[in-house]
Amino acid sequence: MISLQGLRGFGLLLAAGAMSVALGGYCGAETVLPPTADQYLHSLNEVRKAGSRQSLQSLYELAVRSAPGIQAVLRDLSDTQYARLQARMEGFLMTRNETAAVRPSARFFLELAKRKGTKADIAFFEAYAATEPDSSTIFPAYIRQQNANLGCTIFSGPILTDLYRRWLTFRTTFPDAYTTEAQGELDAIDAELLSGTCACETSEKVAAGLDSFVRAFPDLPIAHKINARVERIKDGTSNIRFECHVR
């Protein structure tokens, strides 16, 4: 079963800075955001004004570092304050319905990369958009949401294999760009393949999906562990809950 805390492979668990800055007229005198939020807005403005293409990695990393601090204040805002915060903090997805969550918008950063970024930026945000689509603020593409905080893993079909290949290709093509973020996405998929226990599909489909992944990447260090997981599915000793429904 996947929890909100275990989802993000791209580093949203980085701590916000200890100091905070007031939002002033935007959200009220007592509402504060991490100083990286203002740094992010300043850097975004500089990128937009730049006459030439430049790396967006530092801008994205400011967004990642700012997200926890922004998320922390969402419940305290009035509807008007929340709307003002959303308008001000361009480039972020926010939700505070059943679960409060904040993360960088894949669509926003991909469009910015196409206008102002480098080839590495475009490739990274294409992979990011495929893995962390804006259609879900909380869950990656290989998790099917079932309630506010939980979902089942999609083991069958090509999605895990395709996303893993995309991130491996990115790391090979651009070894010095977004190294922590790209490895984080690979690590998150590794963890799901090896430890995910709430499967959306039947045991047969899960086993077939894991088999397909191993055939695609037979030399990965985790391949033998995935094979062992398949054997446990086939002999009925797996701890995976198949056709898992979270309530």
Residue pLDDT tens, the chain, 247 long: 333 333 344 343 333 333 344 454 444 434 679 999 999 999 999 999 999 999 999 999 999 999 999 999 999 999 999 999 999 999 999 999 888 999 999 999 999 999 999 999 999 999 999 999 999 999 999 999 988 788 999 999 999 999 999 999 999 999 999 999 999 999 999 999 999 999 999 999 999 999 999 999 999 999 999 999 999 999 999 999 999 986 6
> pTM of this prediction?
0.87
To the nearest 10°, the Cα dihedral for 128, 201, 144, 162?
Answer: 10
CB burial of residue 141 (10 Å; 0-12, 13-18, 19+): middle
- Closest-CA residue to 132 (of 52, 72, 53, 188): 188
